[in-house]
Structure 1
Amino acid sequence: MTSQDVRKQFLDFFALKGHLIVPSAPIVLKDDPTLMFNNSGMAQFKEYFLGNATPKSNRIADTQKCLRVSGKHNDLEDVGFDTYHHTMFEMLGNWSFGDYFKKEAINWAWELLTEVYKIPKENLYVSVFEGNPEENVPFDQEAWDIWKGLIDEDRIILGNKKDNFWEMGDQGPCGPCSEIHVDLRPEAEKSQVSGKSLVNNDHPQVVEIWNNVFMEFNRKADGSLEKLPAQHVDTGMGFERLCMALQGKTSNYDTDVFTPLIEKVEQITGLKYTTNDVILNDSEESEEQNKTNIAIRVVVDHVRAVAFAIADGQLPSNTGAGYVIRRILRRAIRYGFTFLNTKEPFINQLVAVLANQMGEFFPEIKSQQQLVTNVIREEEASFLRTLDQGLQLLENVVAETKGSTVSGTKAFELYDTFGFPIDLTALILREKGFELDEAGFNAAMQAQKARSRAASEVSTEDWSVLIPGNIETFVGYDQSERDVKITRIRKIDSKKDGVLYQIVLDNTPFYPEGGGQVGDKGTLVSANETIEIIDTKKENNLILHFAKKLPENVNASFTAKVNQDLRSLSSRNHSATHLMHQALRSILGTHVEQKGSLVNPNYLRFDFSHFAKMTETELQQVEDFVNARIQEQLPLIERRNIPIQQALEEGAMALFGEKYGDNVRAIKFGESMELCGGIHVKNTAEIWYFKIVSEGAVAAGIRRIEAITSDAVKAHFASYENILNDVKTALKNPQDILKAVHSMQEENTKLAKQIEALVKDKVKNLKAGLTAEIQEINGIQFLAKQVDLNPEGAKDLAYELGNLGKNVFLVLATADEEKPMLTCYISKELVADKNLNAGQVVRELGKFIQGGGGGQPFFATAGGKNIAGIQNALEKAVEFVK
């Protein structure tokens, strides 16, 4: 049974049981501040479990792309070393929202596994919750009784809170669960050791494949449990593990989920992967093969996670979710570099295999294939350069080390500042006969984590519900003021922002942050007081209004007032973003797609797919296109709650990585039509004018434009007018400013040539005098001297002196314009025979002038800021030749 068949049979089975089949949500979460990534199948349904929204069906089934690499669920460091952990995996799930419960969930799970998939019953074990008297949660007798009618009692295991009580987080819906485990060991092994004893003991062939969670409690902030108003079912079955069981394998990596990728890695590297069925002998050869196997597993697992994250809109970066994706990719590159001997980018070549393999069910990986390939290739090339740089820096650390143990603090600096992997540091040090101070490294790492935790620590109280059962209504498209009542409040306390209060209203004109647009600010006004709203966000379908204090009377009637000035500026920038998107597709081509945006009152930022830097002509064409639409005074045509398919058929643009409902809102200005939930102007004339202020690269194949409109453009033009007036004054008010500037440039060129000629004369004069000062030390012609030249003159002088003969070692210092500079020249014979390196010399001597630098082995320079250290640097230089 192929993996495609496995997935299809699961969904077909639950469709016949009355379940609505829904697509996977994006792997990257954009509307849930509590999670970076979808880490379980239930993440996209949280609002239903919390009662903040009504599902379109009480029975749903799907397969969800999941990523577990951060926070509580983090499997990253296990990946590769075993055969069943993954960063990205598929979670097959069926859901009941207040409909069926334990009886149906358990019976259907058993029916699917044993009758449809035909897994032998004697290979299966199940577990039920043993209860927890401390929390007043009883043994799950109901689940036990249901299982007892399906499986021998000696195959039912009692599980503790850790294994058999599932929780969404520290707070929220939770409940007992019943897991199903499969024993895939050979019969001979089964006869010697019972599979029951191996359940939940990390045995690679006795693994959990399905978890049925029965949500019936809510965990409060104080840790106590309360009954939910309705009972729900949340199940999750590991797709990769299920394929392993159904394809008769003992490793997930031996299934057709991974074998096409593994075969491609073998083709690229010339190395072979050993399947789990082949037993390796305890020999040096088997140790090397095991390292190869681990590295290949890391690469083929990680490329899936990175590729789907990029396809869903998350680019590698240095912060947040982007940093996590970059870290996963760099781990794969590092394993390839160290154990597969790949010194050039190669992981990007796996994207085509992945797209061919999974593109039918997950079309985003097919449609975004070129972008994903380009981004991964560029990230690979960049990190391989970092590895080269790190190797050189590590050489310097080793050279400075007294004794045989390298400082853990220094190793942490390499890791933290340059991204140089600590395991690679340890490996290289062992090869050189050094040890790593692991305790020092771990201490530095823990200190950093403690600082990070302290900075991001947040405590959240339970909601105080004032008006039960209310589902908030957003009215901000039509109104900026509204009479409201507060329905619930809670207090949050963070190291970053201090104490804040989240307020939910029965209805609200405040737009919550989303679609790139920042949240509204404004006030809540009652008869007796005014509360400032400093931000608005959305979480689990609730619109949260942030305030630094609560009203004295939370039960009073209020008027919610949006800061219309700020909103108006944001709306102009948002509408201009749509027009710019249309302009880019018209001028550059329809390959342009939005990859990110930020819209606030001050400016707009727009990331888009494009393969080259935009020319000045293209940027001007985009500006002209948008301003033409502004001058046309195009009215806003807004359509709400139309079927998404209808909107797409009418030409509306949908963005990859966004989660859309069955009904959507479409925004149209002339020919520009996009699906969008943001706030827009009523007419393009309100934008006034559009001006691009910058264009640059974000990642391979991704460009970024920053632009301004309206009041910001007026301030921009006024600023340039002030600058022009200052220039005019500095030039003594000439009639023709441009002519005056050209005249000054011509004069400057003449003076520069005169200076250059004078410096050359000075170099010749100095050469004659300094030749006599050259000393011979150990057969090397040595000179270390401060000279009265600019850096370019020092370079010319170094080459002039260097050409006098062989075995020349020069260090010249200059202090032109109070900026110390060291210039080192070493004859190529010394570089080859004496292993001297000018780059290493200036890095070492540069410390005396509080600076650094580099260059080639025979010529390098270092700049600094401490002129007083020049003499010490020159005195130190002689040690290199002694």
Structure 2
Amino acid sequence: MTAKEIRQAFLNFFELKQHRIVSSAPIVVKNDPTLMFTNAGMNQFKEIFLGEKPASFNRVADTQRCLRVSGKHNDLEEVGIDTYHHTMFEMLGNWSFGDYFKKEAISWSWELLTEVYQIPKDRLYVTIFQGDEREGLPRDEEAYQIWKEFVPAERILEGNKKDNFWEMGETGPCGSCSEIHVDCRSDEERSETPGAALVNADHPQVIEIWNNVFMQYNRLKDGSLQDLPSKHVDTGMGFERLVRVLQRKSSNYDTDVFQPLIEFIASHSGIAYGADEQKDIAMRVMADHVRAISFVIADGQLPSNNKAGYVIRRILRRAVRYAYTFLSLKEPFLNRLVPVLADQFAGVFDELSAQRDFVQKVILEEEQSFLRTLATGIQRFERYSAEGGVITGAFAFELYDTFGFPIDLTELMAREKGLNVDMDGFQAALTQQKDRSRAATAIDAGDWIVLSPLEESTFVGYDELEIETEIVKYRKVNSKGKDQYHLVLRETPFYAESGGQVGDTGRLEDHSRLFYVDVIDTRKENGLTIHITETLPETLEGKFWAVVDEDRRRLTENNHSATHLLHAALKQVLGGHVNQKGSLVNADYLRFDFSHFAKITDEELLQIEQIVNARVRENIPLVEARNVPYQQALDSGVTALFGEKYGDFVRIITFDDHFSKELCGGTHVRATGQIGFVKIVAESAVAAGVRRIEAITADRAQEFILGQNTQIQALKSLLKGAKDLPAAVHTLLDENNRLRREMEKHLMERAAGMKTEVAAAVRIVNGLNLITFAVDLPSADAVKNLAYAVKDMVPHLVLVLTSLIDGKPGITVLLSDNVVQERGLNASAMVRELAKEIQGGGGGQPFFATAGGKKSEGLALVPAIAERLIS
């Protein structure tokens, strides 16, 4: 079976078992502060398991693209070295939300593996939870008895809490799990060592392929367990491992999941795969990493220097480094794999095919940038290692942190020179960085205190800004050392931060309206709308008035609706390739990122702004459609954003059916006239193939225009009421340039006149002609010109000029070429030493350098120190 056939067989099987087949969630996680990336198939159902959202279907199945770069057996630096761990992988999964439990999950997994996929039964081993007396957790006898119907007792193995008890995190849903392992060894190897002895022993040919998790507990903050209201099943089967087993390969990389990529690399690099282990690892790293990079970019996360963007940049650079070091690919290559990858996933994850050119362009520019950085880092290593000795941990960490060098590259380069790396020092520096990062983002959340049962919080903020409601649960949270409270309301008019729109602020007033607490922000977390306050109401019982800050909401709506108009205008002016890549919408301004590969011209910006404001003046009414079936919305021609996970029912925002029609969950103006006016204030590049426009609307736009008008009137006044401002300014600039040229000519003549006086101040020190002189010139250029004029007059010269320009002390050092070459003196080193006297610093070239400082009285000490330096 091909990989595509294997994937489809899984989905077909569970569809026959009455499972709803759902699409994969984006690999980039939004609205969950605990995750950057989807790292398991259950992530998109997390709020259902937490009891914070009802399930639309009791049985679902899918293939979910996931990303793991840390944790058990998934350290990034190991990927590509072994045969079965990856960064990006697919997780085939089937779920039951309060429906079937252990009997069905176990029997169906056995049926699929042995009857549909026809894996030999005698190669399969299963594990069950052995129990944990310390926590009062019993042995999973139920799973054992079910498995006995299919598997001999000697192939049902017990596992400890580490291997056979699954937990979402330190708190939350958890339960025992039952894994299925397959022994892929030859018959001869199997006869020598029983497979049971190798299960969960990290043997490369005895691997886990399926895990059945039985969620029945909820772990509280104090570590205790309570029963969940409903029991759930969460299963996961690694697609790449399954394909390897069914295609009878010894490595995941030998299957048709990875071979098209590896064959492309081998063909275009001229290096055969399978001939050299180190080169094979490089090809595997490239094939694995390009998958992760491509899908993350397609889902809207661009490489950057922080958070999720940094993770992707690190993965990309690891791939480039392997290609550069072991395959001698000195030019960008990784981007060329994107079309191959897009073809592989056509009909499965079409997001990549739809954005193939964009993804390829982003990777290309990242490769070009890193190859420059890599060359610089290697040069720095060469200079550092030339002195011999141990490569310090601090230097190794600098290469890692600044130049993106994985530590194994530094070790490799050090070994080639017969040097060692201080790994303890490197690990200490790395640990310090991680500790700082954790401390900066540390959030300590207490358990939820439930006041009233709630299945799902209701948002009414599209229609109401003030309602009567009640608090259903709350918790205390410490964020960066500051105590806050998270409150969940039964119904809320507060919009939670999402889709680029900031969360609402406002107040929670008690029923008598005598007391209130400020809501300082509103966010989403696992399907809940979280209202953040710094204090709790005096009493948590009874009714409250939830009141949104109306002025702030209206200004935010102006900017949000303006982004929709802007998006449509950009497509109209620049082309249909324009797609939103990110946005920020608040009460002050809007920021809109979009795909485009060139700077927008002033003429194009003006045209875009004119189109948007024409639509504003038309006062187009908002047409809002709620709870529209997703496919029906797509068929109607709506614009959907890449990287968003849409539900079965969506909301459509339309401003003129032929102009702007988008899927959106944010809040908007009732008609475009409310926006007032849109003014674009900035256009810039964000990343490869991504541009950014910043704009203001309504009050802010009016303030901006009035401010511009005030400046124009002030200019007119200064220019004595000139009617043609540009012409008057040009005249002024021309006059200024003429005067500047005359002044420069005068300074040159003055400096030329001084050169004889300066040259006459020469004295011989240590066989060199030393001149120290305090010059009175008004610019650094004039001092430089004087220095070079003196150099032409005096051989074997060491010239030190001091100056005071605009009240700031300066030092200039110039050396004759032969002084640098024969005496080993360095102007840059000298000027840094001299600059200490003026509390400053500087540098330059070996023969010419300058410095500036703060302490002008120190200039008097410079001549004596200069003489000492050459003595």
Q: Counterpart of 1:614?
A: 600
Cα distance per residue 1:230-264 (max 9 Å; x no partner): 11111000111111111111111111111111122
User: Letter of the aligned partner of 2:495 in structure 1?
Assistant: Y
Deviation string, structure 1 residues 351-392 (Cα, Å, up to 9, x no partner): 111111112211011011111111111111112222233344
Asked if 1:518 is matched to 2:502, the reply is yes
Q: Which residue of 1 aligns with 2:517?
A: 531
Counterpart AA for 2:204: P
In the other structure, the counterpart of 2:667 is: 679
Q: Which moved more, 1:645-654 or 1:303-312?
A: 645-654
The structure 2 residue matched to 1:383, chosen from 353, 370, 379, is 370
- Residue pair 1:846, 1:862 contacting (<8 A) in 2 also: no
Q: Paired residue for 1:741?
A: 729
Equivalent pairs, count: 862
Percent identical across equivalent pairs? 53
Rate the CA distance shift 1:767–1:854 in 2: closer, same or farther, 3 A. same
Q: What is the root-mean-square deviation of aligned Cα atoms in Å?
A: 3.5
1:460-500, Cα deviation, whole Å (9 max, x unpaired): 1111111114421111111101110111111111225x111
Kept in 2: contact 1:842–1:854 (CA 8 A):
no
Q: Which moved more, 1:645-654 or 1:515-524?
A: 645-654
- Secondary structure in 1 aligned to 2:674? helix
Residues 1:706 and 2:690 aligned together: no
Shift of 1:802: 8.2
User: Alpha-carbon deviation of 1:160?
Assistant: 0.3
**Does the Cα contact within 8 Å between 1:91 and 1:239 map onto a contact in 2?**
yes
Instruction: State the alpha-carbon separation in 2 of the partners of residues 405 and 108 from structure 1.
Output: 58
Q: Does 1:192 align with 2:179?
A: no
3-state SS of 1:405 partner: coil
> 1:37-52 counterparts in 2 under 5 A?
37-52=37-52
Distance (whole Å) between structure 2 residues aligned to residue 419 and residue 805 of structure 1: 48
Query: Which deviates the most, 308-317 or 816-825?
Result: 816-825
Kept in 1, the 8 Å contact 2:828–2:850? The answer is: no
Change beyond 3 A, Cα 1:753–1:98: same
Secondary structure of 2:100's counterpart equals coil
Structure 2: distance between partners of 1:664 and 1:861: 65
Q: 1:680 to 1:834 in 2, by over 3 A?
A: farther
Residue identity in the other structure for 2:65: K
Pair 876,238 (structure 1): closer, same or farther in 2 beyond 3 Å: farther
Q: Which residue of 2 aligns with 1:471?
A: 456
Query: What SS does the aligned partner of 1:598 have?
Result: strand
> CA separation of 1:472/1:785 partners in 2, compared to 1, >3 Å: closer, same or farther?
same
In structure 2, relative to structure 1, the CA distance for the partners of 1:437 and 1:760 (3 Å cut) is: farther
Quote the Cα distance in structure 2 between the aligned partners of 1:332 and 1:425. 15
1:625 partner amino acid: I
Q: What amino acid does structure 2 have at the position aligned with 1:216?
A: Q
1:319-334 maps to which residues of 2 (within 5 A)?
319-334=306-321
Structural mapping, 1:253-264, within 5 Å: 253-264=253-264
1:345 to 309, 320, 332: 332
Matched, 1:436 2:424: no
Which deviations, in whole Å up to 9, do the C-alpha atoms of 1:561-594 show, x marking residues without a partner? 1100100000000000000000000000010000
Structure 2 residue identity aligned to 1:451: R
| In structure 1, distance between residues paired with 2:766 and 2:338 | 57
2:680–2:693 CA contact under 8 A, matched in 1: yes
Residue number in structure 1 paired with 2:225: 225
Which residue of 2 is the match for residue 568 of structure 1? Answer: 554
Question: Is 1:297 aligned to 2:308, yes or no?
Answer: no
The residue number in structure 1 matching 2:357 is: 370
Tell me, yes or no, if structure 1 residue 487 matches structure 2 residue 472.
yes
2:439 partner letter? A
Partner of residue 270, structure 1: 270
State which drifts further: 370-379 or 411-420. 411-420
- The aligned residue for residue 695 of structure 1 is 683
Report the alpha carbon displacement of residue 769 of structure 1 after superposing the two structures with TM: 7.3
The change in CA–CA distance for 1:853 and 1:15 in structure 2 (over 3 A counts) is: farther
Paired position in structure 2 for 1:179: 179
Q: 2 CA distance for matches of 1:23 and 1:862?
A: 63
Provide closer, same or farther for how the CA distance between residues 552 and 737 of structure 1 changes in structure 2, counting only shifts above 3 A. Answer: same
Task: Give the corresponding residue for 1:151.
Answer: 151
Range 730-739 or range 62-71, more displaced: 730-739
Counterpart AA for 1:238: G
Mapped contact 1:268–1:346 kept (Cα < 8 A): no
The more displaced of 721-730 and 871-880 is 871-880
Q: Deviations over 1:522-560 (max 9, x none)?
A: 111112421211111111211111111111211121111
Query: 1:408: which partner in 2?
Result: 393
Relative to structure 1, the CA distance from residue 880 to residue 335 in structure 2 (aligned partners, 3 Å threshold; closer, same or farther) is farther
TM-fit CA distance, 1:595: 0.4
- Report the Cα offset of residue 762 of structure 1: 5.3
**Residue in structure 1 matched with residue 94 of structure 2 by the alignment:** 94
Q: Please state how far the C-alpha of 1:335 moved relative to its aligned partner.
A: 2.3
Cα gap change, 1:245 to 1:563, in 2 (>3 Å):
same
Cα offsets for 1:20-72 (capped at 9, x unmatched): 11111100011222211110000001122122222232111110000112578
1:28 aligns to what SS in structure 2?
coil
- What is the CA–CA distance in structure 2 between the aligned matches of 1:14 and 1:125, rounded to whole Å? 22
The answer on whether the counterparts of 1:140 and 1:176 sit within 8 Å (CA) in structure 2 is yes
* Contact residue 573 and residue 601 of structure 1 kept, 8 A: yes
Comparing 663-672 with 749-758, greater Cα deviation is found at 749-758
SS of the aligned residue for 1:436 comes to coil
In 2, Cα distance between equivalents of 1:307 and 1:839 = 49
**1:748–1:45 CA distance, 2 compared to 1 (3 A):** same
Check the 8 A contact 1:167/1:174 in 2, yes or no. yes
Structure-to-structure mapping, 1:31-70, within 5 angstroms = 31-69=31-69
Aligned to 2:544: 558
Distance of 2:81 and 2:578 partners within structure 1: 40
The answer (yes or no) to whether the contact 1:824–1:842 under 8 Å persists in 2 is no
Structure 1 unaligned spans of 5+: 279-288
Distance 1:785 1:10, change over 3 A: farther
* Partner SS, residue 8 of structure 1: helix
Whether the 8 Å CA contact 1:470–1:487 is kept in 2: the answer is no
Alpha-carbon distance between aligned partners in 2 of 1:342 and 1:308, rounded to the nearest angstrom: 23
1:448, distance to aligned residue in structure 2 (A): 2.3
CA contact (8 A) 2:828 2:847 kept: no
Q: Assess if the C-alpha contact under 8 Å between 1:824 and 1:838 holds in 2.
A: no
Partner of 1:757: 745
Partner deviation per Cα, 1:650-691 (whole Å, 9 max, x = no partner): 221100111111211111112211111111001111111101
Name the CA shift for 1:793/1:543 in 2 (closer, same or farther; >3 Å): same
Offset of 1:726 from its aligned partner?
4.8
Letter in 2 for 1:322: G
Provide the rounded CA distance (Å) in 1 between the counterparts of 2:718 and 2:682: 28
Deviation at 1:814, TM superposition (A): 7.0
- Residues 574 and 112 of structure 1: is their aligned pair in 2 closer, same or farther, counting only changes over 3 Å? same
Q: Residue 424 of structure 1 aligns with which residue?
A: 409
Classify 1:788/1:104 alpha carbon distance in 2 versus 1 (closer, same or farther; 3 Å). Answer: farther
How far has the Cα of 1:345 moved from its partner?
Answer: 1.6
For residues 863 and 3 of structure 1, what CA distance do their matches in structure 2 show?
A: 66
Q: Secondary structure at the match of 1:69?
A: coil
Paired AA for residue 720 in structure 1: Q
Q: Distance in 1 between matches of 2:165 and 2:267?
A: 45
Q: Are positions 1:203 and 2:203 aligned together?
A: yes
Distance 2:781 2:795 in 1: 23
Matches of 1:565 and 1:740, distance apart in 2? 43
Per-residue deviation, 1:135: 1.6
Structure 1: how far apart are the matches of 2:2 and 2:822? 62
> How far is 1:810 from its partner?
8.9
- Separation (CA, whole Å) in 1 of partners of 2:421 and 2:627: 62
Q: What TM-score do you get using the length of structure 2 for normalisation?
A: 0.91
Q: CA deviation at 1:761?
A: 3.9
TM-score by length of 1: 0.90
1:110-134 CA-partner distances (Å, limit 9, x unpaired): 1111121111122211110001122
- Alpha carbons of structure 1 residues 861 and 716: separation in structure 2 relative to 1, 3 Å: farther
Deviation at 1:417, TM superposition (A): 4.2
Q: Tell me the equivalent position of 1:27.
A: 27
